[in-house]
Amino acid sequence: MNEFKDAVAGAEGLVTDAAHSASREYAMARRNIQGAFDEAISRLDGARRAVRTGALDAADATDGYVRHHPWQAIGTAALAGLAVGFLLRRP
C-alpha cells in the first residue's frame, strides 16, 4: 500500500508539472503518469494474489487440523463461545 501511495503521489506531482509544461513535455508527463499507474495496478494485483494465496493456505491448514483433531477443534470452539458469551453478558 505504501508503494501504491508513493506511486499516486508521484503521479500527482507529474500532473502538476504537466499543467505547467509545453505540449511536448505534457505528452511525456502523460506517458510517465500512465506508467506510474500501470505499475501501481501491477503491484496491487500482485499483493491481491499473495493475500488470496495466504488465505487459501490458512483455510486448508485449518481444514486439515479440524479433520485430524475434531474433538480438540470442538473443545476450542466451545471454549471460545463460552468466553464470548461471558464477555457479552457482563454489564
Residue, of 90 and 18, whose pLDDT is higher? 90
Report yes or no on whether pTM surpasses 0.85: no
- The secondary structure of the chain, three-state, reads CHHHHHHHHHHHHHHHHHHCCCHHHHHHHHHHHHHHHHHHHHHHHHHHHHHHHHHHHHHHHHHHHHHHCHHHHHHHHHHHHHHHHHHHHCC
Instruction: Give tens-digit pLDDT for 7-32.
Output: 767 777 777 766 665 666 677 777 88
Instruction: Give tens-digit pLDDT for 31-81.
Output: 888 888 888 888 889 999 999 999 999 999 999 999 999 999 999 999 999
